[in-house]
Structures are given as C-alpha cells and as structure tokens.
Chains A and B, each alone.
Chain A
Amino acid sequence: MKNIYIAIPLVCLFASIVAGLFGKVIGRKGAHTITIAGVAIAFLLSLIVYSDVRDGNTFNGSLYTWAITGTVPLQIGFLIDQLSATMMIIVTFVSLMVHIYTIGYMASDPGYQRFFCYISLFTFAMLMLVMSNNFLQLFFGWEAVGLVSYLLIGFWYDRETAIFANMKAFLVNRVSDFGFLLGIAAVLYLFGSLDYAAVFASAEGIQHATVMSPFGEWNWLTVTCILLFIGAMGKSAQVPLHVWLPDSMEGPTPISALIHAATMVTAGIFMVARMSPLFELSETALSTVLVIGSTTAIFMALVGLVQNDIKRVVAYSTLSQLGYMTVALGVSAYEVAIFHLGTHAFFKALLFLGAGSVIIAMHHEQDMRKMGGLRTIMPITYLTAIIGSLALAGIPPFAGFFSKDAIIEAVHHSDIWGAKYAYISVLLGVFVTAFYSFRLLFMTFHGSNRSDEHTRKHLHESPNVVTFPLLALAVPSILAGFMFFEPVLNGNFFGDSIFILPAHDVVNQLAAEYEGTSGIGMIFSAIGHGVQTPPFWLALAGVIFAWYCYCKNLALPGKIKNAFRPIYIIIDKKYGFDELYQSLFSQGSLLVGRFLHKYADAGLIDGALVNGTASSVNRISGVLRKVQTGFTYHYAFAMIIGLFALITFFVWF
C-alpha cells in the first residue's frame, strides 16, 4: 500500500514536470494527455486507498528524513486515515474535472502547456499537504499551493490587474504564514517534535502550561492554536485576511474553481480539523475560530449581494461558505466542517465552471448586467447551474442542504462562547446566500439577453470537454449530501482521525435527535426535520425574493439600493479593507522604507559616520602632515620624546 501512497502525489508531479519542461516537444495534446492521465491515475489510486482505509487500514509512517536538527528528526511522511483519504478523493476528483474542462476553456491560449504544468503541480502540492503526517510537510504543501496559486492568478502576466492580484494574494498569505510558522515553532518548543502523532499524544500533558506575556499570563496551547489558526485565516480567506480571494478571480476560471473554491482555500479548514486534538483543549481558541468564521459567513455573503461580475459573486459566496466551515470548526463539529468542505467543493467547482462556460460563450464578458436569457442557448450549463445553486442555497435534497443544515444545527446545540452570535449569523446567511445565488442564476440565464449584437449572434453551448465536467460535478452536488449524512453524523465516517472532547460533542447530540432512525430513515427524518426549522424557510424566502426582484419586479433592486444608500455604499466598498490595507501597510511600509533609506542609511550612517570619518581623516591628516617636515633632527627629537614616554610608562605601571 505504501507504494500506492507514494505514487499518488508523484504521478502528478511527474506529469507536471514533463508538461512544464518538455511542453514544446510534446505539444498541446501531449501536455493535456499526460497531465490528465496523471491525475486520473491519482484519482483511481485514491479510490483504492479510500476503500482500504474504510476496511480499517490506516497508515502513519515516514518516507525520508528531511533533516535532523539537534536531536529532533524532521521527516517527510504520510498519515493516511479517514480524513486524509476523504480529502484525497475530493482533491483528485475536482482536479481531474478541472483538467478536462481546461482543454476547452484554454483551447486558444498560448500558455496551454504551462497551464497544465501548473495545475498538475498544484495537485501534487495539495496531495502532499493533506497526506502529511507532520507540521513541516504541512507547511511545505501549504506554501507550495500558495506558490502555484500565485503563478496561476498571474497566469496572464501582461495584465496589470492580474499581477497586482497575485502579488497581493501571496503577501496576504505571507502575513498569515507568519502566524502559522510561529505556531509551528511553538509546537516544536512545547512538544519537542513536529510529528502529528507525537504532538497529539502529549497535548493533554501541557494543557495548563502558561507563558507570561506583556498582557498577562497566557495559556500556551491557546497561543499555539490561535497562531496556527492565523495560518488558516489566510489560506481559507477569513476576515480580516480575506482580501486576496476576490482579486484572485483575475486568474483563469478553471483555477478559480480548483484552487480558489474547491481545494486550496479549504486547506485551512482541513488543517484545523487535523489539529482537533489541540484545538479541543482550548475553548478560547475555539471561540476565536467561531467568531471569525461567523463574521466571515455573514458579512462576505452581504458583499456577494451587490456584485455584478459573475465570478466575483461566486468568489464572495466562497468566502461566506468558508466562513460556514470555520463556524463548524469553532463549535467542534469538525466532521461536519469537512462534510461541508466536500459538498461545497463539488457544487462550488460546478458553479465556477458553469460561470466559466458562460464566460466563454459571452466572449470573456463577466458582467451579469450584460447577460440574461442564456437558458435556452446553453441548456446543459443552465441545468447544472440550477443544481449548483440549489445545493448552495441549501434546498433539500441537494448536497448543500445536509451539510449546511448540520452546521446550523450544530451551532444551535453548542454553548461555547460566541455561539449565539454565530447562530444568528449563519441563519441570516442562509437567506442572503439563497438570494445572491438565485440572483446570479436569474440575471444570467433568465430574462432577455442584454449583450451586444455581435456577442448575441455567436452565443452557443460550450463544447463537450466543458459540459462533461459540469455534468460529472452535478452528480455529487446532488448525491453527496444524503450519501454521507448518516455516517458523518454517527461519527463513524472519520473514525479516530478527529478528536472531540465529550463536552463539546454537538454532533453526537445532533445524531441523537435522529435516534432510532438509520440509513434512509435518517435522511428522511433530516429532511422532515429540516423543513420544520428556520433555515429551510429562510432559504426558500431568499430564492423567491430573488425571483421577485430579478424576474418579476426589475425596478425593485434599484429602489432598495436607493433606500438604503449608506449601507449599500459600505457593502459595495467591501467595508473598506482594501483601502485601509493599501494606505496603512503598503504605503506605510514604503514610507518608512524611504525614510530609513534617506535619513538613517544614507544620512546618518553613510553621511555622518562613514564619509564623515573619511573627511575628518582628511582634515586630521592635513594637520599631521605638518609634523612630517623632512628634517632629520625633527624626527630624532620625536624619537627621543617617544622613548622617554615609553620608559616612563614601563616604570610607572
């Protein structure tokens, strides 16, 4: 089995290297054939691994010693359990679909081979991240996916907006990595190891260790968990480190689906779930996670309401949904968070690829105000977009319903600090989510077409390589919810890979509500229960309201906008984060840099000290030169005086 584990990431790496280095030799066809074959193999092998793990064969072992520092061995290795096997399936499946889709989407792009090289490299890095059995490799994968994200956002490197966005993405992620790396250093300091198993095993032992800080006594574990979570906040785009994700839409749409919706941005969620044995021991850290997550969930959803760029709507929706997952982590419902991560990966990739399909048809027009009426022209894209939107809005029995309902119910059951705020946020979020997702659907596919003559004439359904992935992703967007609802809730889906203290176990309480039912019965009772609770009605209200605003009474949105102008402006400005960061951090550090360069380095050190020394040497030597007269008796006199001075020195001391 170990050889299979090794083969899964390496086959992607190999394909990536071939496509990257020999892209010219093997041509376009060669590049997509080898990378798709690589990812397909990785997907099939992941299925084998998954079923093997289901049979109870987990694995934890190292591949090679990266370094031994002092007495601490730092190793590269794999931990294959229910959690990582699930992630492997999600990653390789979505990646495979995106690979196929790319054939159509990038068909006329000169950087075709390079694109395939990057997305295969991404798949490799993401697999290394989820399969890791230690913090070092986690950080490796973490940064490597960040690198590929950087390269892909800036894929069209002659666009000024794209290369600004990719630098911004990298730097914002670096801010979070700053916390993450310190978190890892804290782990090594506390546990003397970076190996998951060793760290988790001794977590309880240091539960009460504290550190003195200028702000009082802090619990070490809380500090460590919050540092690690800062890492997650960057990668999973949580407020206030979310600013890079909307801009990342500058990249080609396939990678928005793969990296900035389905996989990379969920790395933070995965990481916290993986660290459940640490986070469980610190309620402060969990509350922090919860509050950040619920803030992201509701406030980013609100921004989604006012966007007109089709990709940006989906991007803000992704931010909000990541907030939902983070909320689930905060109430210790880790398995539900991963459940939503999975369903979201499918339906959000579907929505992004659907948006991409629309964008191809519209000749790279992304403004929804210029779309409309596409449902008859693009029936497959339309159908799959409906499925995606229903899943996102959380309408039963689509996948999103089960995972989102489980999150909301889990928050409802939790009594951790911040749970009330979170509950209100996620409830309101349901309405907003349903509204913006159907706003997108109605604006794009319904009504009359608002594009120009030329575009309208050339409108057509996308080719099969584009629609096949849409259909293939629609299947799990429908099924993944009720297929996995019961095992996730009963706690046997993730087995021992997630650790929850009994006092925090809201999922268990949730499952207890459906007691006596199992399998299909549980699903029906979940739907039955779902339709009796507020989330369902809120979602329905959102859909209907969107229909009313964008199909029936088209003037209403404008009226609402004018009535609530100040609020609209705040939301439209995205709460001003970008402007604040731009002026405070970017301009600020440049200002400080210029000041230091001019006054400290060039002024004080060079000007006053170095060149000052040189010029004073000049001056002093000018004086000294007068001593050297060239007359022998002057020198002799000086020598005698010197001799006397030396003798005096030796006699006296």
Chain B
Amino acid sequence: MNPLDLENGLLSLLIWLPVIAGILILAVGSDQKATMVRGLSLGFSILVFLLSIPLYTLFDSSTAAMQFVEKASWIKAFNINYHLGVDGISMPLILLTTLITVIVIISGWQVITQRVAQYMAAFLIMEGIMIGVFASLDAILFYVFWESMLIPMFIIIGIWGGPNRIYATIKFFLYTLLGSLLMLVALLYLYNVSGNSFSILDFHQIKLGMNVQIMLFLAFFAAFAVKVPMFPVHTWLPDAHVEAPTGGSVILAAIMLKMGGYGFIRFNMPITPDASHELAWLMITLSLIAVVYIALIALVQQDMKKLIAYSSISHMGFVTLGLFIFNPQGVEGAMMQMISHGFISGALFLCVGVLYDRLHSRMIQTYGGIASTMPVFAGFMVLFAMANSGLPGTSGFVGEFLVILGAFQANPWFAIIASLTLIFGAAYTLWMIKRVIYGKVVNRDVLSLSDVNPREIIMLSILAAMVLIVGIWPNPILEVMHTSIENLLQHIAISKLP
C-alpha cells in the first residue's frame, strides 16, 4: 500500500476496526464457539497492533504539528467535526493501547469460560474507544469517546468482577462522572468564547483572563485528577482493581490512568497556561503527597492487587509532578513514566492474575515459597518488581530518573521528597516479593502449584522485553516526543492573559 494512502484514514481504521470486530464477535459468538471467538479476537487485536506500527514508522518527529489528520464535518449546526490527528504525545500512547490489548486478549484466553464473546468484544470495543480518546482533536468527539469508554469498563467489572463489584463500580462511576460533567461545562464555555469552535487546537489559542483560566483549570482538573488518580480522589482505584477481572485491571492501570495524564497535557497546560503556573504549587503538592503518603499505605496492604493499585497511584504521582515543573526533563519523564507504568503495572496485575487463577486468592499470606514451585514465574515477577522499584536498566527507572532530574532543576526540595520513592517503592515491592515469592513453602496449596504455561510465558515475555528494551534504550521513544514536548513548553511559557 502506498504510505500516503495509509496516512489518510489510518486513525479511523484503528478506532473503528476493533469496534466493528467487537460487534461482529458479539453477533456471531457464543460460548459453544469459544475457541473461534478467542482466535478471532486475538487475530483482530494483533491486526490492529500491526496496523498501528506505521503510526511510529511514518511519524515525522521533526514537527510538532498534528499528523495523520482526518477532518470531516459531523454536526454542522454546532460546528462539531470528526477531527482526528496525533502528535508525539498521543502517538506513543496509542501504540501502548494496541499492544496492551493484545496481551489482555491472551490473558483472558483460558481464564474466561463464560460469556467469552462478550468479554472479548468488550475489550476490542474499548480498544477502539481508547484510541479515539487519544486521537480526537475535536472536543465533543473527545468527550463522546471519553464517556463511552466507561461503558465497557463498567460492564467488565460488573459482569466478570469480584463479589463486591457493585460497590466498586458505583464508586468508580460516581467519581468519574462528577469530574466529566465539570469538564463538559468547561468545553461548552470554551466553545462560546472561541467563536463557536470545538477544535481543541483552537482552544489552545484563546486568550483568557486569570479567573476564567483558574475556573477552567479546576473543571478539567476534576475530570483528569480522578482518572490519574491524584490524591485525594484516588480511593476508587484500589476498589475497582480488587473487583475487576485481571484483564480489566490491566487496561485500567496500563491505559485508562494515562488518560488523566494525557488530559493534563492536552487541555490544562496549553488551554490555561497561566492558571497552570498559578496552581502548579497545588499540583506539585498533591503529587508529592501521592508519592510518599500512598507509598506508606501501599506498605501495609495485605491484598496484592490493592498493593499494586496503591503503587500505581504513587507512580502516577511522578507523572503529575513531572508535568507541572514545566521543564523538558520533567515532561519527558512524565511521558516515559506513563508508558513504562503501562508495561509494569500491567505485568504485575497479570502476575497476580496468574496466581489468582491457580489458588483464587489475592492475599499475600496465602503464598510464600512460590520460587520453589514456580521458578519461571518467580523470575518474571522479580523482574517486574525490580522494574516497579525503578531499577536502572528497566523502563521504571527512565521516567522516575528524568522527573527527579527535572524536579531538582525546579526546586531541590521537590526532588528530595520525590526521591523517597527510591526507598519506599523498593520497600513495599520487595517486601511483597519476600512474602510471596521467597521463603519456605508453608501450605499444601502452594506445593501443588504448576509453573506458568506457554500462553502465560508469551504474555509475560512480551512485557518483560518491553520493560528491558525501554530501560536500556529509551531514546527511540523520547525522540518522537521531543518536538511536541518542546512545542508544548514553549506554548505554555507564553501568557494567555488578554
């Protein structure tokens, strides 16, 4: 195919192909034909992943302008457009989405035996929607994708979730909805002042007074802080994770949380730069609280999924910290942290899933001495744990390192507090490893465990490879972001006060 042809419509293809595939699978699939459903889902997810690779290879990293742009009128009366495009910030996140979806499909292969078609379809449809969120350049299109993303997630937790899933879904829903509605108000306001445009790129150029900026900042903040999640609106996440099936947790941690960080980059910072500077103290304080306070809470968790959920919140603190210190190391570090956290938290949730599938317990005390019965699995889990504690040579190091470097330039005290993660992050992760992986085999259940099967080895190996490759050579990813981040920083350095 001519690359030029591919560029036109590639994003649409990536959004709608998985959605249509999902609907197709819903239509033809039943639990009698589970094998076919699994095969089709895997085939489609791999196809989407392969199709997303040209986004990287054909990407022009010398410009900050949107690429692979598609624009068509959608609702003429309100000047709403079907407007897609990616830059160096959204493109890597789309690739992350397509890769993680493949892994999630593999992870549900044998585990989900009931309503297989619905399960697989939900993830495929969600994939399309999530790509839509990252690719939308029209505010209403963005909002539609943003809200509809909740539906499949809601269904996944609600149907395949744990015993307390209703409480978790309602909490999740209430939190998210509250934030989203305020964002909608902000978008409508911006539509008015921009002279009837819903283009996000137009929003970036509007001059706004300080008070208005602060109001808008807080409205967007409500939507994105919940998603990240930032302290103190984080309490939905541990509950949602605990109740979600493994695949749901992986998508939630690996991709959904990133939408919060992405939202800050796409909306808060460029639309309200003055308010961003004005409120940076708040963002930094909340981020640092997340890094330290949440890490301490993670330390005392008994449930592995809760522990990893709290660890996610703590790590996402680095994202918001990196963004609001407004220097290249900080923002690049934040982006790297998002991508790396996608791999690592996804992998850790898969690891818990592997154990859960066998013994149906997420509690740390159930385990102990796994290394004796599941040596290959132990190797993987120790690797991901080390990555989670930010060991150099793994992707977990890159983001934290860059953010700490950036924070030191901004104010050494920020760096000092943030660096505490070196100690706490290692403490809660390794203590879990000590109790789960090492030690004597204390009960018969653990003795009967069988090591990871080829399917599990494949999904863990892919993530292990990504964790190591990105850790050893992050430059290929940083390279594509570079110009966009530089452009963003230049943009927000200029006041938008009228």
Q: Which residues on A sit within 8 Å (CB–CB) of B439?
A: 157-158, 160, 163
Asked whether, in the complex, the Cβ of A68 is within 8 Å of the Cβ of B479, the reply is yes
- Report Cα–Cα, A594/B332, bound state, in Å: 34
- Report Cα–Cα, A594/B302, bound state, in Å: 11
Question: Looking at A65, A67, A184, which has the most chain B CB atoms within 10 Å of its CB?
Answer: A67
Question: Looking at A175, A610, A613, which has the most chain B CB atoms within 10 Å of its CB?
Answer: A610
Tell me the number of A-to-B contacts counted with CB atoms below 8 Å.
Answer: 141
Min Cβ gap A64→B in Å is 7
Min Cβ gap A145→B in Å is 11
- Report Cα–Cα, A597/B299, bound state, in Å: 10
Q: Fill in one digit per residue for A245-258: 1 if any B CB lies within 8 Å of its CB, else 0.
A: 00000000000000
State whether the Cβ of A590 lies closer than 8 Å to any Cβ in chain B: yes
Asked whether, in the complex, the Cβ of A170 is within 8 Å of the Cβ of B426, the reply is yes
Asked whether, in the complex, the Cβ of B235 is within 8 Å of the Cβ of A160, the reply is no
Q: Fill in one digit per residue for B390-431: 1 if any A CB lies within 8 Å of its CB, else 0.
A: 011100011001101101110010011001101110110011
Q: Which residues on A sit within 8 Å (CB–CB) of B475?
A: 65-68
Asked whether, in the complex, the Cβ of A158 is within 8 Å of the Cβ of B478, the reply is no
Asked whether, in the complex, the Cβ of B332 is within 8 Å of the Cβ of A189, the reply is no
Min Cβ gap A266→B in Å is 20
* CB nearest to B477 among chain A residues: A67
Min Cβ gap B168→A in Å is 12
- Identify the stretch in A304-312, A377-385, A497-505, A600-608 within 8 Å (CB) of chain B at 4 or more residues: A600-608
Q: Which residues on B sit within 8 Å (CB–CB) of A629?
A: none
- Report Cα–Cα, A65/B474, bound state, in Å: 9
Q: Which residues on A sit within 8 Å (CB–CB) of B115?
A: none
- B residues 222-250 near A (Cβ < 8 Å) are 232, 235-236
State whether the Cβ of B327 lies closer than 8 Å to any Cβ in chain A: yes
Asked whether, in the complex, the Cβ of A177 is within 8 Å of the Cβ of B393, the reply is no
User: Given the known A-B contacts A167-B431, A614-B174, are A158 and B415 also in contact in the complex, defined by CB atoms under 8 Å?
Assistant: no
- Report Cα–Cα, A189/B473, bound state, in Å: 23
Number of B residues whose C-beta is below 8 Å from A? 62
* CB nearest to A139 among chain B residues: B392
Q: Fill in one digit per residue for A49-82: 1 if any B CB lies within 8 Å of its CB, else 0.
A: 0000000000000001111111110000000000
In the complex, which of the residues A65, A69, A142, A590 contacts B402, with contact meaning CB atoms closer than 8 Å? A69
Asked whether, in the complex, the Cβ of A177 is within 8 Å of the Cβ of B422, the reply is yes
In the complex, which of the residues B328, B419, B420 contacts A69, with contact meaning CB atoms closer than 8 Å? B328
State whether the Cβ of B440 lies closer than 8 Å to any Cβ in chain A: yes
Asked whether, in the complex, the Cβ of A188 is within 8 Å of the Cβ of B478, the reply is no
Asked whether, in the complex, the Cβ of A600 is within 8 Å of the Cβ of B423, the reply is no
Q: Fill in one digit per residue for A184-196: 1 if any B CB lies within 8 Å of its CB, else 0.
A: 1110110000000
State whether the Cβ of B364 lies closer than 8 Å to any Cβ in chain A: no
State whether the Cβ of A589 lies closer than 8 Å to any Cβ in chain B: yes
Min Cβ gap B338→A in Å is 15
State whether the Cβ of A18 lies closer than 8 Å to any Cβ in chain B: no
State whether the Cβ of A596 lies closer than 8 Å to any Cβ in chain B: yes
Q: Which residues on A sit within 8 Å (CB–CB) of B152?
A: none
State whether the Cβ of B71 lies closer than 8 Å to any Cβ in chain A: no
- Report Cα–Cα, A164/B170, bound state, in Å: 41
Number of A residues whose C-beta is below 8 Å from B? 52
Q: Which residues on B sit within 8 Å (CB–CB) of A167?
A: 430-431, 434
State whether the Cβ of A200 lies closer than 8 Å to any Cβ in chain B: no
User: Given the known A-B contacts A68-B479, A160-B440, are A189 and B408 also in contact in the complex, defined by CB atoms under 8 Å?
Assistant: yes
Q: Which residues on A sit within 8 Å (CB–CB) of B441?
A: 158
Q: Fill in one digit per residue for A576-613: 1 if any B CB lies within 8 Å of its CB, else 0.
A: 00000000000001101110110011000110011001
State whether the Cβ of A147 lies closer than 8 Å to any Cβ in chain B: yes
Asked whether, in the complex, the Cβ of A171 is within 8 Å of the Cβ of B426, the reply is yes
State whether the Cβ of A178 lies closer than 8 Å to any Cβ in chain B: yes
* CB nearest to B398 among chain A residues: A67
In the complex, which of the residues A151, A178, A592 contacts B420, with contact meaning CB atoms closer than 8 Å? A178
State whether the Cβ of B462 lies closer than 8 Å to any Cβ in chain A: no
- B residues 363-399 near A (Cβ < 8 Å) are 369, 371-372, 382, 386, 389, 391-393, 397-398
- Report Cα–Cα, A596/B439, bound state, in Å: 29
Q: Which residues on B sit within 8 Å (CB–CB) of A160?
A: 439-440
Asked whether, in the complex, the Cβ of B482 is within 8 Å of the Cβ of A185, the reply is no
- Report Cα–Cα, A464/B409, bound state, in Å: 57
Asked whether, in the complex, the Cβ of A610 is within 8 Å of the Cβ of B235, the reply is yes
Q: Which residues on A sit within 8 Å (CB–CB) of B299?
A: 589-590, 593
Asked whether, in the complex, the Cβ of B171 is within 8 Å of the Cβ of A610, the reply is yes
Min Cβ gap B472→A in Å is 8
State whether the Cβ of B97 lies closer than 8 Å to any Cβ in chain A: no
Asked whether, in the complex, the Cβ of B420 is within 8 Å of the Cβ of A147, the reply is no
- Report Cα–Cα, A600/B415, bound state, in Å: 25
State whether the Cβ of A140 lies closer than 8 Å to any Cβ in chain B: yes
State whether the Cβ of A375 lies closer than 8 Å to any Cβ in chain B: no
User: Given the known A-B contacts A67-B474, A69-B328, A593-B299, are A182 and B412 also in contact in the complex, defined by CB atoms under 8 Å?
Assistant: yes
Question: Looking at B171, B422, B473, which has the most chain A CB atoms within 10 Å of its CB?
Answer: B422
Could you list which residues of chain B lie within 8 angstroms of chain A, going by C-beta atoms? 170-171, 174-175, 232, 235-236, 293, 296-301, 327-329, 332-333, 369, 371-372, 382, 386, 389, 391-393, 397-398, 401-402, 404-405, 407-409, 412, 415-416, 419-420, 422-424, 426-427, 430-431, 434, 437-441, 472-475, 478-479, 482
Could you list which residues of chain A lie within 8 angstroms of chain B, going by C-beta atoms? 64-72, 139-140, 142-144, 147, 151, 154, 157-158, 160, 163-164, 167, 170-171, 174-175, 177-178, 181-182, 184-186, 188-189, 211, 589-590, 592-594, 596-597, 600-601, 605-606, 609-610, 613-614
